[in-house]
Amino acid sequence: MYIDGQWTDAESGATFEVFNPANGALIDTVPDGDARDARRAIEAAARVFPEWSTRTAHQRSGFLYRAYECMMARKSDLASRMTEEQGKPLRAALAEVQYGADFLLWFAEEAKRVYGETIPASRPDQRFLVLHQPIGVVGAITPWNYPVSMVTRKVAPALAAGCTIVLKPAEATPLCAIDVFRVLEEAGLPPGVANLVTARNPEPVGREMLDHPDLHKLTFTGSTEVGKLLARDCADRLKRVSLELGGHAPFVVFDDADPLHAAKGAVLVKFLNTGQACICPNRIFVQRSIYRAFVEAFTDRANKLVAGSGFDEGVRIGPLVDRSALAKVERQVADALEKGASLLCGGRRLTENELDQGWFYAPTVLADVTPDMLIYREETFGPVAPLIPFETESEVLKMANDTRYGLASYVYTRDLARAMRMMEGLRFGIVGINDINPTAASAPFGGMKESGLGREGGREGIREYLETKLVGMSI
């Protein structure tokens, strides 16, 4: 753990083990923190807050620039660590480290753009000023699926705004977070400004964040279930909260699109990180007249994806994170088949060539999925693609919006007017039009409905860490 500028053990002395999900091998052990460690970290962050928040924006920006440079210099080490700890193919891990570094660079720039306002007052002897000031100490809880970029997406804007932070990374991927903190340390992080508490059981650390009066904001990325739990507790104390939660992305392919091009895009984003991304399509709607052509092209491509160790050349499918992730995928596939879906490829755990040492599941395509199936409603977080035919634009818009989630959505069409209608009608925070990667550090990322509250990245990202203060002045 990294608390108040020191690498430290848990106060209890406890540790926990971190395993490689591709082969079950032990990688390392890390401190198993609890409420006492979280308290120590929050108190360090609170102590240094007055000093950090009154540094100039240019000074905070300078630190983030250095952190960006340090992360770029360590890019390949960080990526290897990620492949070992999280399982994604090395090429994808390199792309993620770049994405992670992009947040450091972006918020180094945004730090200098926290503008205030003057507002014309109605009295001649009055002036109004609006200031944006850092919220204070931030608690951040991050997931395992993007173990570097989800850390910098929170730490960079918090520090840019002038906040100090305590981070609890996911129990499956503490080593990536430790490496990010090494980067911050190397860049000259002042003691206490960012602190890392690793823990096997997240609950006591989360509780301390919620209970501690000096922590004013919680930012969380993870499941909708845990997000709601934390938001409820934040409500009791009226702590500020940002949530980036689950998704159930629709991917809509109209018959004016090239089915082969659309299938290529759909495979890339569906099987991204083995389906373990909150922006992965969970319902692929294809207009009836090109359904057959799309299904064939999609299945053909999905069939060719190679599963294995992310360090092996050509591997595109890494392991699932753990046994329960595998069980969830198996349950959804069994349910869909029972209710009449057709299995076009995959549909089983992979165990050959030592894949049984990890949690591998074959890229799977289910055709003719219907709304009564679990997979139509529940987030899968695995390599299973449900395909659904549709007839008309108005029908598919209704079906696409028929979910409690509202994070990402995708539309393939060459008809500009249709693209505009869909873009406006989809109740999702992100819409990709003929675009499977509508994300960047410079763009706001976040969901509507049960996919969350607030936005990360973009101009919006730093606002999540700022309070608005009105100053009225009589002159």
Q: Among residues 87, 89, 134, 206, which is the contact residue for ligand ADP, using CB under 6 A?
A: 206
| Contact call for residue 143 and ligand ADP (CB under 6 A) | yes
Closest CA to 312 of 354, 280, 347: 354
> Among residues 168 and 212, whose Cβ is nearest to ligand ADP?
168
What gap in Å lies between CA 183 and CA 447, rounded to an integer? 30
* Marked catalytic residue, from 234, 278, 450, 464: 278
Closest CA to 473 of 114, 123, 117, 115: 123
**Which residues touch 36 (CB under 8 Å, ≥6 apart)?**
11, 12
> Among residues 15 and 303, whose Cβ is nearest to ligand ADP?
15
Neighbouring CB atoms inside 10 A of 455's CB total 20
> Among residues 203 and 312, whose Cβ is nearest to ligand ADP?
203
Compose the 144-183 pattern: x for residues touching ligand ADP by CB under 6 A, - for all others.
------------------------x-xx------------
* Marked catalytic residue, from 244, 379, 450, 464: 244
> Among residues 226 and 326, whose Cβ is nearest to ligand ADP?
226
Closest distance to ligand ADP from the beta carbon of 406 (Å): 18
| Contact call for residue 319 and ligand ADP (CB under 6 A) | no
Q: Distances in Å between the alpha carbon of 118 and those of 113, 127, 284, 354, 470?
A: 16, 8, 49, 65, 10
| Contact call for residue 203 and ligand ADP (CB under 6 A) | yes
> Among residues 215 and 263, whose Cβ is nearest to ligand ADP?
215
Token representation of residue 445: 């990322």
Closest distance to ligand ADP from the beta carbon of 451 (Å): 13
- Do residues 167 and 147 touch, judged by C-beta distance below 8 A? no
> Among residues 273 and 287, whose Cβ is nearest to ligand ADP?
273
Is 96 designated active site?
no
| Contact call for residue 368 and ligand ADP (CB under 6 A) | no
Q: Among residues 62, 191, 202, 444, which is the contact residue for ligand ADP, using CB under 6 A?
A: 202
Q: Which residue has the tokens 């080593």?
A: 175
Number of residues that bind ligand ADP (CB under 6 A): 13
Q: Among residues 97, 141, 193, 295, which is the contact residue for ligand ADP, using CB under 6 A?
A: 141
Closest distance to ligand ADP from the beta carbon of 112 (Å): 31
Q: Which of residues 216-235 bind ligand ADP (CB under 6 A)?
A: 222-223, 226, 229
Closest distance to ligand ADP from the beta carbon of 86 (Å): 12
Q: Which of residues 456-475 bind ligand ADP (CB under 6 A)?
A: none
Closest distance to ligand ADP from the beta carbon of 411 (Å): 27
Token representation of residue 87: 């399982």
> Among residues 51 and 203, whose Cβ is nearest to ligand ADP?
203
| Contact call for residue 204 and ligand ADP (CB under 6 A) | no
Closest distance to ligand ADP from the beta carbon of 279 (Å): 14
**Which residues touch 40 (CB under 8 Å, ≥6 apart)?**
3, 4, 11
Is 278 designated active site?
yes
Closest distance to ligand ADP from the beta carbon of 167 (Å): 9
Closest distance to ligand ADP from the beta carbon of 198 (Å): 10
Q: Among residues 20, 142, 164, 195, which is the contact residue for ligand ADP, using CB under 6 A?
A: 142
Neighbouring CB atoms inside 10 A of 73's CB total 13
Catalytic annotation, residues:
244, 278
Q: Which residues bind ligand ADP (CB under 6 A)?
A: 141-143, 168, 170-171, 202-203, 206, 222-223, 226, 229
